[in-house]
A and B are shown apart, each in its own frame.
Chain A
Amino acid sequence: MTIEFDNNLPIYLQIMNYIKGEIVTGKLKPGDKILSVRELASEMQINPNTVQRTFQELEREEIVETRRGMGRYVTSKEETIMTIKKEMAKDILDRFIRGMQDLGFQGEDILAAVAESIGTKDGE
């Protein structure tokens, strides 16, 4: 597992997004056990406290659950995973729409551009 950290952003947020990505793309499956703080810290070469904080935040968002004496697991609630997926999709969309608006595209134009782009891809 490798992750290029951007030192301009809080590292715990970057690890959170990384783990969310692994869950959404199915590399981590519902109910999978996840690495311990120690293991993840040495694999990512960062401070164990930062990993600890990441897990706390993921627990707060109910993406990860701790089973006493057994470790941490990816939530088995499909709807939580769907929520993360929607949030991540929304982030991508927001960025895309802002980018298109900066280029001068408006609502209908954006839709048309997307439709055309998808159409081209389907045609390939």
Chain B
Amino acid sequence: MMRCCCLVLLIIFFAPLSSLAGETKVYPREVQIYPREVQIYRGEQTLFEDTVWSGEILIDGILTVAAGVTLEIRPGSRVSFTRFDSNGDGIGEHEIFTQGTLRVLGTEEEPVLFTSAEEIPRPGDWGTINMMVSETENLLQYSIVEYGYRGFHAHFSRARLQNSTFRNNMRGAQFQESQVVIDGCRFLDNNNGVQFRDSKVTLSGSFISGNQWGLRCVYSDLIMTDNVIENNLVNGVNIRDGKINAQGNRIVNNRRGLYLQRSEGRVVGNDLSGNSEHGIFLEDSNVEVVDNRLAENGRAGVRWLNSKGRLARNLIADNGVYGLINDGTTAVSARNNWWGTIDPADIVAAIRDGRNRPGLGLVDNRYALMQPLPFDLLGTP
């Protein structure tokens, strides 16, 4: 009798626990060729041999490219992903996951499209083009990547994104501990344009616009030349604890233009104008800011907070409230700039520092230029 009671109790206790484990999703391991010549990958599948795609490909699961294997995608291919959101967080999980090498070889006339398979697509329908420890150089060339959670995502990988468009994703590109070259790409209307951490990145000739955040990174080295970063809702570029070399970029009409926190580097020959708050905001940073145009920003051309470095040979004119705000307690070296006027009183009025806010550091604005230097974006052709 006692034994029976124990058994009954055990069943009562453990039956619900087994149901908590949930249903196991069973994926058939198959590749089907349909009459419309759509190549379909369902469930969890892995490519163990070099593979070439062209035409229509449907990913209805998670497709892994094994280490040492190359997946090549030919011009004009269309790769679509079904929406599968197991935990209801609004983020689709179907994706390509590569530990091998991905070579997407679109052309200007025949780009490769990565998109949602849904009739009414939305950002986050599918996961990402995902790379993990993929150290041979991956290439996305003339690709269009849309409606993903992250258009491109990488950990410990090397990649070149070239002449590709990332649009309407939750994040256009996001990566960590990677080396990525981004050249001639467009990041349009994503929640966040480009985001990375602990990476080395070269960004050139690219266009980042209409995102909530333009570019945001931490603990990274960034070389950026000849880019246009405009009309992003929050910051155009935000770098924290990083190194930057920015040359010849137009970072305009964002809320903040270039926002550097605890970072160092050079900002030379850029147009940092028309931003709602500040053209450049330096916070606890050490940066050389030379030969830039800092004009028509809403609150100030430059906001300087406890930073080192030099502000020289810039055009700082026609900004809203001030040309330069020193909000820190340290001095600012700001010699040889054009302040939009040769009137010493007006130059002083363009600067807010310890002279009108006791306790703040002073700005050394001596040797103001008598006329603006010819401004030219100094980017590499």
Same complex for A and B? Answer no
